[in-house]
Amino acid sequence: MIAHGLEQGRARTLRSSVVLHAAMAVGGLIMVLFLIAHMYGNLKVFAGKEAFDGYSAYLRTILEPLLPYSGALWILRVILLISVGTHIYAAFVLWHRSRKATAGGGGWRYESTQNRRGVQRTYASFTMRWGGVTIGLFIIYHLLHLTANYIHPGGASESPYERMVNGFSIWWVVLSYAIALIALGFHLRHGIWSAFASLGANTGVARRRHLNQLAYLITVVVIGGFLVPPLCILFGWVGP
C-alpha cells in the first residue's frame, strides 16, 4: 500500500510542470551545445577541401577501435534525438495544459503600453512554437542535403566540402538557409534565457540582465557562425 502510494507520488512528480520545464531546458541546452560544435565544424570550410573532408571523416573514426566505425557519432546522434524528443514532448504537454487551463484561450500576456493584452513580451518569445516548427522542417531538409546526400542542389558529390560549396553557390539555397537561421535566432535568444530561468538561475535583477546578455551573445555567435560560410561561398570567396 505504502509502496503503491510512493509509486503514484513519483509518477505525479515526473509529470509535474516543474519537471517538464526542467527537462525541456536541459534538452534545449544540449541542442545548443550541439549547434556550437556544428558551427565550429562548418567554419573548417575556410581551411579547404582536404581539411573539411578530413574533419568529416574524423568524426566517424572517433574512439576506434574501441567503438565501431561511426559508433561515437551515432551515440551523439542518439543523445541529440533524445534531447529533441524530450524538448518537443515537454513543450507540447505544457502548451496543452495551458490551453486546457484557460479553456483554449492560452496564457495571458504581460500588459504593457505596446501590448495591452498583456506573457510574451518579446517577438522571440511570441514565435517560439512556430519558430520551432520551422526549424524542425529545415533540419530535415538540411540532413537530406548535406548529410545524407539525397537532395543535392548544385550537383551531387561524395565530398562533404563539394556538397556544401555546390549547394551554397545557389542564391535560393542560401536564402532558405538564412530564413531558417533567423527563426533559429529568435528561438535561441528566448530559449537560452528560459532554460536557465527554468533551472533556477534567474535569482535577481542583476542575474536576469546577465542571462539576457548571455542569451544574446550565444545567439549572435551561433547565427553569425552559421551564416558566414554560405555567404562567403555565394560571393565566391570560398570555392572548389
Q: Give residue 198's identity as a one-letter amino acid code.
A: S
Residues 6+ apart with CB under 8 A from 186: 123, 124, 127, 128, 131
pLDDT recorded at residue 6:
44
Euclidean distance between CA atoms 10 and 49, whole angstroms:
53
Quick: pLDDT tens for 92-108: 888 788 777 766 555 44
Residue 172 pLDDT exceeds 90: yes
Please say whether the beta carbons of 153 and 141 come within 8 A. no
pLDDT the model gives residue 91: 85
pLDDT for 14 equals 55
Res. 137 pLDDT band, cuts 50 70 90: confident
38-52, 80-94, 132-146, 186-200: lowest mean pLDDT where?
132-146
Quote the pLDDT of residue 112.
Answer: 46
Give the residue among 106, 146, 102 at the shortest CA–CA distance from 128.
106
Q: How many CB atoms lie within 10 A of CB 172?
A: 8
Global pTM value? 0.82
Its sign, for the CA torsion 153, 157, 161, 162, is negative
pLDDT digit string, tens, across residues 5-17: 545 545 555 568 8
Cα 73 to its chain centre, rounded Å, is: 18
